[in-house]
Chains A and B, each alone.
Chain A
Amino acid sequence: MSALLQVRGLSRHYGRRIGCEDVSFELHPGELLCIVGESGSGKSTLLNTVAAQLAPSAGSVRYRQRDGEWLELGQLSEADRRRLAREEWGFVTQNPRDGLRLNVSAGANVAERLMALGVRHYGQLRSIARGWLERVEIDPARIDDAPTGFSGGMQQRLQIARTLVTQPRLVFMDEPTAGLDVSVQARILDLLRRLVNELGLAAVMVTHDLAVARLLAARTMVMQHGRVVETGLTDQILDDPQHPYTQLLVSSVLTT
C-alpha cells in the first residue's frame, strides 16, 4: 500500500531555538500515528508544521491527494493550502473553543464545513448535522443551542463532528482528550476509535498520554527536545522501550 503523507527531514526553528528537528515519517491510508513526549518536546510544533500551519525551516512534506497526485506542501499557494484544509483535511484542537465557532448554533458548527464544500440545501444540511450530533452522542434536540452552553466534553465531541462531517482523508489532532475528566475522555476515545475505523481515516495525533496511544494507534513516535528518539509499533515501544527517555516515560506511568 502506498503512503498518503511523506515527511522528510522536517525542521522548524524559532530563531535559534529548536521546535522540531530532522523528522521523517510516512503515514498510510487508514492509519493512526501517535506522537508522544512531555510538554515542550516539540510535538505540537511538528504537528502544525506537517499540517502546513507553520512554515518549515527545512525539509519537506508531501501529500497524495484524492486524485492520486502528489503535492509538495511547501510549494503550494496559500489558496491551495486552504483548499486542502477545507476539502481533504481536518484539524481537532486541544481546546474545542479554538476549533468551534462559539457564537453560532451546534447545527451551524457542523454544517459550516459542508457549506464550504458547496452543499447549500438547508433541509439536507440540517439532517446531516442532526445525524452527526447523534453520532457523537449529543442530543439532536440541542441542534439550535450555541456551544457556549455545552460542557467541555460535549464541546469536544461537537468539534469532532464538525471536523469529520466532510469525511476528510487526513485528520490532525492535538491532545484532543487532555484536560477532560477520565470518564469523558473514555467516551471521546471510544468515539474516535470507532469513527477512525468506520471512516477509514488516516490521522496524526499528539498526546502526552501513553494509554491513549496504546488504545488508538498502531504506530507511535516518541519525541524529546524536538527530535524523534524512538519510533515503531506502539505495543513494542510501550512494552520494550529502547531509548533511555522512552524507558523513563513508560516507567513513569501510574498503573491502577
Chain B
Amino acid sequence: MNTNLMLDLHDLGKSFELHHQHDAHLHVLDGIRLQLHAGECVVLSGPSGAGKSTLLRVIYANYRPSRGSVRLRHDGRWLELASATPHEVLDARRRTLGYVSQFLRVIPRVPALDIVAEPLLQIGAEPAQARQRAGELLHRLNVPERLWQLPPGTFSGGEQQRVNIARGLIAPRPVLLLDEPTASLDAANRAVVAQLLAEARVAGSAVLGIFHDEDMRDRVATRLFPMQPLEPA
C-alpha cells in the first residue's frame, strides 16, 4: 500500500432524490476518481454548479454517496466511509478528517475562544492548554483579544470566518477539507491562512479545497482537480 495515500475516491457519484419536488432527481457527481496524498494541496476547480462543495460534503460524510467508494486512511487502516457506521464516521472526524466551511455555526452563549478550543478538548487536550492554543491561533488570524470571550453571533462575517478557520485548524488532522474558507477575508488574512495551510502540509496533512480567489489558489495549490457540471440527465 502506498504509504502516502490518504484519501482514495473511486467512481464516486451523488444524486439527490427530492420526494416533494415532483420526485425530481438531481445528478451532481458521477464517476469521480481522485487520490489525495499526504503533503499535497489539491484545489477543486470549475464553474459553480460543478459539484465542488457537494464532493467535499460527500467526503466528510455529511452527504451520503449514491455510488462508488470513499476510502480514508484512518488509524493506519482503510475506512470505507460510504458504508462506515455513525460511530466510525464520528471517530474519523475527531481524529483524521477536518472540514472548514464558509460559515461558522454559532452556538448560543459559547465564547469564541471556547468554540475554537473545542476540537482539541474532544481529542483529550487539557482545557488550559487548548485555550492557550486557541488564543495563539486567534491572535495569528488578527481576531482582537477583546472579542475572545464573546459569543461570535454578533461578529462581522470576516471575523466569524476567522474563528471558523481557527476552529477547523486547531486540531492537527491528516486530511483537511476546505470549502472557500477565505471567501470574505482581506489580503492580509488570506496570507495568514495560506501560511497556516503550508504549515499543516509540512506537518504531513493532505488538503483538498475550494478557493475561488485565483491569488489564493496559486499560493496554496500543488495541483488542480478540474470539475464540470454533469449534462442534464
Is residue A190 contacting chain B, with contact meaning CB distance below 8 A?
Answer: yes
Contacts of A233 in B (CB 8 A): 61-62, 86, 89-90
Is residue B18 contacting chain A, with contact meaning CB distance below 8 A?
Answer: yes
Is residue A28 contacting chain B, with contact meaning CB distance below 8 A?
Answer: yes
Q: How many A-B residue pairs have CB under 8 A?
A: 45
Count contacts on B: residues with CB < 8 A to the other chain. 18
Q: Among residues 58 to 90 in chain B, which have CB atoms less than 8 Å away from a CB atom of chain A? A: 61-64, 86-87, 89-90
Complex CA distance for A251 and B61, rounded to whole angstroms: 20
The SS class assigned to the A binding surface is helix
Is residue B192 contacting chain A, with contact meaning CB distance below 8 A?
Answer: no
Q: Is the CB of B108 within 8 A of A189?
A: yes
Is residue B107 contacting chain A, with contact meaning CB distance below 8 A?
Answer: yes
From A70-78, A128-136, A238-246, give the one contacting chain B.
A238-246
Closest to B63 in A: A240
Q: A187-B109, A218-B90 are in contact. Are A239 and B62 (CB under 8 A)?
A: yes
Q: Among residues 18 to 69 in chain A, which have CB atoms less than 8 Å away from a CB atom of chain B? A: 28
Closest to A183 in B: B108
Q: How many Å from the CB of B99 to the closest CB on chain A?
A: 10
Q: A186-B109, A219-B86 are in contact. Are A236 and B62 (CB under 8 A)?
A: yes
In-complex Cβ contact of A235 among B20, B62, B109, B110 (8 A): B62
Q: A187-B109, A236-B61, A240-B63 are in contact. Are A247 and B20 (CB under 8 A)?
A: yes
Complex CA distance for A247 and B90, rounded to whole angstroms: 23
Q: A190-B110, A193-B107, A218-B90 are in contact. Are A236 and B19 (CB under 8 A)?
A: no
Contacts of B62 in A (CB 8 A): 233, 235-236, 239-240
The SS class assigned to the B binding surface is loop
Q: Is the CB of A244 within 8 A of B20?
A: yes
In-complex Cβ contact of A240 among B20, B64, B90 (8 A): B64
Is residue A115 contacting chain B, with contact meaning CB distance below 8 A?
Answer: no
Is residue A232 contacting chain B, with contact meaning CB distance below 8 A?
Answer: yes
Q: Is the CB of A247 within 8 A of B107?
A: no
Complex CA distance for A28 and B109, rounded to whole angstroms: 28
Complex CA distance for A232 and B62, rounded to whole angstroms: 10
In-complex Cβ contact of B109 among A190, A236, A244 (8 A): A190
Complex CA distance for A232 and B90, rounded to whole angstroms: 11
Q: Is the CB of A218 within 8 A of B18?
A: no
Contacts of B20 in A (CB 8 A): 244, 247-248, 251
Per-residue interface assignment for chain A, residues 224 to 238, with 1 indicating a CB less than 8 Å from any chain B CB and 0 otherwise: 000000001101100
Closest to A190 in B: B109
A-B contact pairs, 17 of them (CB 8 A): A190-B107, A190-B108, A190-B109, A190-B110, A193-B107, A215-B107, A233-B89, A236-B62, A236-B64, A239-B62, A240-B16, A240-B63, A240-B64, A242-B64, A244-B19, A247-B20, A248-B19
Task: Kindly list the 4 A-B residue pairs having the minimum CB-CB distance in the complex, ordered from nearest.
Answer: A244-B19, A186-B108, A240-B63, A190-B109
